[in-house]
Structures are given as structure tokens and as C-alpha cells.
Amino acid sequence: MAEPAVEIRRGDHVESVARADVAVVDSTGRLTAFVGDPDRPTYWRSSAKPFQAIPVVVSGAAEQFGLMPDELAAIASSHNGEPEQLARVHGLMERIGVTPDDLVCGAHWPSDHESRDAMIRAVEAPSALHNNCSGKHTGMLALARRLGAPTAGYHEPEHPVQLAIARIVSLYAYGSERARLTTAIDGCGVPTFYLPLSRMAWAFARLVDPRGIPEAEGRAGQVVAEAMRLHPEVVGGRDTIEVRLARASGSRLMSKEGAEAVLCLGIPERGIGVAIKMDDGNPRTLPNVAAAVVALLGIFDDEKNGRLLDMARTVTYNVAGREVGEVLPVFRLTRGQVTH
């Protein structure tokens, strides 16, 4: 059961409480720490994007289309629709030979307010390029091209693209290429995976330390993870949780947020994966929990831990700029296996 993780305080009193479940797993599959229920199942949503990008590398599509690390990060991204991000994805589309009309993800306005406002002033309507999943979908089309499969229907569960992705998810999260996966349709129209947090954490641990993963797939996973670690501004965007965690840790970890307040991260130097789910699906305190978890693990030096702790506690201000409260993590990490 989810535990109280964050208190939202106003003045001298607690106004709200956010609950969370957390799993910390090493690359051998051992649960090393947790909060609440580390085996809580939920949808992986966009936190699964590294594993949706791995087949692009394994298949040879990344080499065929000359993808650079920042472009691999774009394929694993949930971008904000900033101009640099859009230009990068559009360049990928041109190289692969597809257009925004080939993407099934649909169109929405950029989540970056500056980019959205600039479009409104220019009387421009958004296309599928502006969808925060356009990089992922472009990567899927690159994979279809490489496999010699039709680009039409690439989002369907039985299409070769989705079968290749399901194999990688199964391998990293369950240690078998043939695990039975439970899926639904994600917001962008492709399958999303329903699995326990502990499996997500193990997958991220093996993403940065591919113990037990076949050589080709393990090497591809590390390539994707390093691309994401080095280019968090591509994976997210201005002041997103990926960028903030990278800044606080000195780029010593990689992370990926998903919808409904899911976040997963991998810490290469320890071969550790972390999966977090806020109980009510509200992401407003997700950065506080994530920063506190990493700080409590005690992996980094005092300077980095200090930055993480500063990120974990948020001061709140009213419209006039007066300090009125704080957001404060209140959980402890339980070390070791779950005792039933």
C-alpha cells in the first residue's frame, strides 16, 4: 500500500499529503530498498521509452540512418515542443523519408509555454510533430523501414515494430524474451505495458548495467541510456524533471518520466534502477520524491546530495511572492527485501 511520502504545508499546518510507492532494484534483480509496495503494478507509460528505442539500435536502423546520441535521446524523449527539439525530430523524419502525417500520435500544442505562445502569435496550428511522443514514433518508423515492414499500422500490437519492442521489454523486465505482457493503448496510440514497479526498476538497472542481457541488446541499451544521460534537455526540456535531476546529480544518472506520475531512473556507477509511482497520478510532488530517494541512497558526495536535498524541499510562494509554505518529503527508505 502506498505510504505518505510528501507533506504540502501552509503556515504551521499540513494542507495535503501525497502518497507514493517506490522500488529500488540492482542489476541482479535484488530489491535493495523500497517505500510502500514495491510490487505495485501500474502502466509504464513514457518511462518505457528507452526500451522502445533499443530496437532501433539493435536492428541496425540507428547505423543505417546515421543517428547521433542526441537523436537517440530524441527517440526516447517526451519533448516539450521547443524549437530545437522539433528541428531535431523533423530532421530525423526527412532522413527516414516520412512526414508528420505518417505519425499516429495525433497533434497537440507544445507544453513549453514560450513555444506555444510563439505559435499562437504566428497563427500556426500544431501537427503530429508537436506531439511530445513524435520522436518515439519517428524511431518506430525508422525501425519499420529497417525491418522491411510496412509503415502503415506500425502502432498495432502485432506489427513487427511492436513485436520487436515487446521482446526487449520482456527481456529487460522479466529476463525472458517470451514473458506474457499485459498492455493497453497509451495516450499516443501505441501499446503501453502494465507491470510491477520492481520490474520497471530492474529493467532500468540493467539498462545501465546489462547483467544477464545478451551482448547485442545490452550494448544497445547502454547506448540509449548514455544518450539520455548526456542529453536530458532533449529527453524532457526546459526545467523538466530529467533536466533537474541531471543538474543536481552532476549528470550521474539518467531518468524518464511517464504520465500519471511515474518516474524511472538508472544510476550507472552502482547498477541501480529506481521506479516511483505517485498514488493519485498527480506529478506535482514527483520531483521531491525522486530527489529525496536518490539522496537517501547515499550514492553521491555531499555536494551533489546537498543539491538533491535542495530539490527535494520546495518552498511555496503566493502570487505576490511571499513565502507561504513548503513541500517536504517525510518518508524513509526501507532497506532490503519485503517482509510479508
Per residue in 18-58, pLDDT (tens digit) is 999 999 999 999 999 999 999 999 999 999 999 999 999 99
Q: What is the pLDDT of residue 122?
A: 96
Angle of the 215-230 helix axis to the 160-174 helix axis, nearest 10:
90
Q: Give the pLDDT mean for 55-63.
A: 98
User: How far is the first Cα of the chain from the last one, in angstroms, to the nearest whole number?
Assistant: 12
According to the model, what pLDDT value does residue 339 have? 44
pLDDT digits (tens, 9 = 90+) for 289-309: 999 999 999 999 999 999 999
Distance between CA atoms of residues 90 and 138, nearest Å: 9
Mean pLDDT in the chain?
A: 96
Helix, strand, or coil (residue 145):
helix
What confidence tens digit (pLDDT) does each residue in 229-247 have?
Answer: 999 999 999 999 999 999 9
Q: Report all structural domains of the chain as residue ranges with CATH numbers, in order of start.
A: 3-67+156-335 (3.40.710)
Q: What is the pLDDT of residue 69?
A: 97
Check pLDDT > 90 for residue 81: yes
C-alpha pair distances (Å), 193 with each of 32, 36, 53, 69, 180 = 24, 21, 15, 26, 11
Q: Is the pLDDT of residue 317 over 70?
A: yes
Cβ atoms 276, 333 nearer than 8 A:
no
| pLDDT band (50, 70, 90) for residue 338 | low
Report whether pLDDT(337) > 80. no
Per-residue pLDDT tens for 110-142? 999 999 999 999 999 999 999 999 999 999 999
Position of cell 538533491? 308
Closest CA to 206 of 23, 28, 24: 28
Q: What residue has cell string 510533430?
A: 129
Is residue 138 a contact partner of residue 96, using CB atoms and an 8 Å limit?
Answer: yes
Strand 3-10, strand 41-43: pairing: unpaired
295-301 — which CB contacts under 8 Å span 24+ positions?
A: 296/33, 296/332, 296/333, 297/24, 297/33, 297/267, 297/272, 297/333, 299/252, 299/267, 299/269, 299/270, 299/272, 300/249, 300/250, 300/252
Cell numbers that stand for 42 in this block: 501500474
Structure-block grid coordinates of residue 60: 541496425
Residue 185 has pLDDT above 70, yes or no: yes
**Cα–Cα distances in Å, from 115 out to 77, 105, 133, 194, 307?**
17, 19, 16, 33, 29
Report the distance separating Cα 231 and Cα 242, nearest Å. Answer: 9
pLDDT tens, 93-107?
A: 999 999 999 999 999
> Given this model, what pLDDT does residue 340 score?
38
